[in-house]
Chain A
Amino acid sequence: MARYTPPEQSKAGQILDIAVVVVAIFVALWLPLKLGFAGAAKSIDPLDAKTWDALGQNATMASIWEKLGYTPETAHDIIQNRFHYIIDWPTLIIMAIVLIAYFVFLFRASDKEYREVINEKFDDK
């Protein structure tokens, strides 16, 4: 197999590629933050009676909250801020498809490239 000679990349091309990578990193990490995709999906289940008892805290727990500087009123939004684990099937299916498609592409395209590497490495000998 003929040895592949890659083109030399100009300085401008290198700078452009660096810019592409930087933009991609910021889009991937910053955009979910900006669009509100990042972070926990939690919500507060409010209680009318804000007492340690109503918040499900026994005497030991209540004494620790107080030691930490909380009252039933200030602890309410922490204690009642809960996850609601409802499986959203369409989102779950989309997630599974995206993950599987990504890994299938990754392994298939990698294998194609790997065969070129192996052919050049071992057929030279």
Chain B
Amino acid sequence: MTAAVETAQTTTIHGDRVSLLRVLGPAHVWALGVGIVLVGEFTGWNFSADKGGALAALIVCWVVGLLYTSVAMIDSEVTSTVAAAGGQYAQAKHIVGPLMAFNVALFLVFAYTMLEVSDAILLGDTIVAKAGVEGLTHNSFIAATIVVLAWLNYRGVLMTLNVNFVITAIAYVSIVILFFSVSPWTQGAVLKLNELVTPANALPYGWIGVIAAFQFGIWYYLGIEGTTQAAEEVRSPARSLPYGTMAGMITLLIAAAMTWYVCASLMPWEYLGITYYPLWDAGKLTGSPLLENLLFIATLLAALASANGCINDAARAWFSLGRDRYLPSWFSAVHPKYRTPYRSILFLLPIALAFAFIADLNQAITFSILSGVLQYTFMSINIMMFRKKWPLGSIRRGYTHPFHPLPAIVLFCLCMVTFFAIFLGFGSQLIAMTVFYFLISLWFHFYRYKFVRRGDQFSMPWPKPQGY
């Protein structure tokens, strides 16, 4: 038994010790990660074309892919060693301290809840656009999506992720089918890349546009780190988490490249930059009703899979905060029959519904991206502290990532570039959210922390960290 497995924690309900169920394998980890992220190919990434042009969207696809490869490498090492529900939250608790853990959990909850909101808006808008019925609004579709998926999550993690595996696989295959259906090896017949992306319009804002495009380039992959949220429900965390996460990253890099190539070869960058459903539009522009309908269904499935995974992840981060008394312990209840963090699921449900009705798609996406980038900044510093406090050989690691500290440095630098990218166009929103995190941190440090049991925050069977 690995050290990680030994740390599965329990919650007391009516006098009984109840824990989350260890039922998941690598395929579920892949489905959780890719399921959350794949919707980024169906909407969101294309807003990077709006900020910098079609070529900028391709450049950030690969450079941000490097950022996420660093995230996946770092995350795989830390999570395979600190395998507990809450993922990066549990890592922060053991490596940096309670306040950082509190913030990281909030980053996770906001990133995933706003991603869920974006998914629901996308789904609603796609159905309304397909129906073409005057007066039909997306509200009922949004509400139904969020409520039904919350119910599914309430009923159990295995069923939730089995559903995710199937719908994610269908959505992914649809991108592959679209790619091979448009004869990607020839230009002129269906694809017209060199007529749509010309030297004159490839980078309409110059290189500053490429930097600005980083903001939505994040959307190609945002959420892959969510695989770690299932750490306490995976049968073999040391094997399944690195394998599932890295396989997910490879899958997404391929999907992102195919998506850019097809979309940039089928529509002008100005339209690509503002459409809510670039792949569905690509399907339409091929002139094939079969592809159009396939991509319509795949867009809905990708949004469903993502929202489903987001509810799963946000609820687990919130649950962890309650279990450690960083928030009222009421949230730490595990359902006695379904063994899910049901109160956290129910608590986050109206918040998601409220924002789905007051925010539009790119605002919700920006909220999610901001929290994500704050989290990645933490991760780059966290791995340096982890290696310093417990050097290689001092504790058993499920996986050790190569080239340290290069991935951490790359990740940190790319996060700084992304902050600057968000500043270019969305600076006020960035400042407003950072001020919020600052104020809530003061609330935690000077008030809420008194309810926290100090020694209980360190549950790993590790030696004392070096330097303490």
Interface residues of A (CB under 8 A from B): 3-4, 6-7, 9, 13-15, 17-18, 20-22, 24-33, 37-42, 56-58, 60-61, 64-65, 67-68, 75, 78-79, 81, 83, 85, 87-88, 91-92, 94-95, 98-99, 101-103, 105-107, 109-122, 124
Contacts and interface: CB of A to CB of B under 8 A. Distances in A.
Interface in B316-353: 325, 327-330, 347, 351
Q: Tell me if A's interface is mostly helix, strand, loop or mixed.
A: helix
Interface string B245-286: 000000000000000000000111011001000000100110
Interface string B82-100: 0000000000100011111
Contacts of B101: 110
A53 to B, nearest CB: 13
B450 interface: yes
A28 B98 CA distance: 22
Nearest first, the 4 closest Cβ-Cβ pairs linking A and B are: A110-B97, A114-B97, A28-B436, A120-B455
Contact of B96 (A60, A107, A120, A121): A107
A121 B200 CA distance: 63
B465 interface: yes
A7 B450 contact: yes
Given A32-B432, A83-B205, A103 B423 contact: no
Contacts of B438: 98, 101-102, 105
Interface of B: 50-51, 92, 96-101, 103, 110, 114, 192, 195-196, 198, 200-201, 205, 208-209, 212, 266-268, 270-271, 274, 281, 284-285, 325, 327-330, 347, 351, 354-355, 358-360, 362-363, 366-367, 377, 381, 419, 423-441, 443, 445, 448-455, 457-458, 464-465, 468
A9 B330 CA distance: 11
B363 A113 contact: no
Contacts of B354: 26
6 contacts: A18-B327, A38-B363, A41-B425, A91-B431, A110-B96, A120-B455
A64 to B, nearest CB: 6
A103 B412 CA distance: 13
